[in-house]
Amino acid sequence: MRARGKANDRKVLRAEGFELVDGSGRIRAELVVEPDGAAVLAFMDRAGKFRAMLGVEDDGTPTLVLGDKDGNVRAGITVAADGTTALNFSDKSGETRATLNVAADGTPSLAFLDRHGQPTLSARPQGRREG
């Protein structure tokens, strides 16, 4: 949580972006506000490949994205404005291959997708149970 107080009670450094570099000058992390309004904290490995991102979209949707050693997005989690949560897993080419969702009403679903994005197996409860 952000510390709150009067502006003159604390020192503030303001910028539209920050880069964190290692001893060799390689960018290892960036904190930026994208042109679309998303606030993003991204981490790169020593080779400069994307590895992780934590962000909040302009509409308030929080997102966590993880990449593999080649910089490909492999997993992500989001919480939509309506409360729906989604956990997605992708193959090395970035195609979503599995999803686990919990709808705003609490209904869970699971899906496995082929390389073309078509469901090969999906599951969701037949009826709602109380409790």
* Both structure tokens of 97: 């291959």
Indicate if the pLDDT at residue 10 is higher than 80: no
Minimum mean pLDDT among 34-43, 98-107, 121-130: which range? Answer: 121-130
Q: How many CB atoms lie within 10 A of CB 108?
A: 12
Q: Residue 11 has what pLDDT?
A: 83
Q: Residue 131 has what pLDDT?
A: 44
Indicate if the pLDDT at residue 58 is higher than 50: yes
Mean pLDDT of 60-86: 96
Instruction: Identify which has the larger pLDDT, 62 or 15.
Output: 62
Angle at the Cα of 38 from the Cα atoms of 11 and 113, rounded to 5 degrees: 140
The pTM assigned to this predicted structure is 0.80
45-54: long-range pairs with CB below 8 Å, 24+:
45/69, 46/22
Instruction: Identify which has the larger pLDDT, 126 or 53.
Output: 53
Q: Which residues pair with 42 in a beta bridge?
A: 30, 53
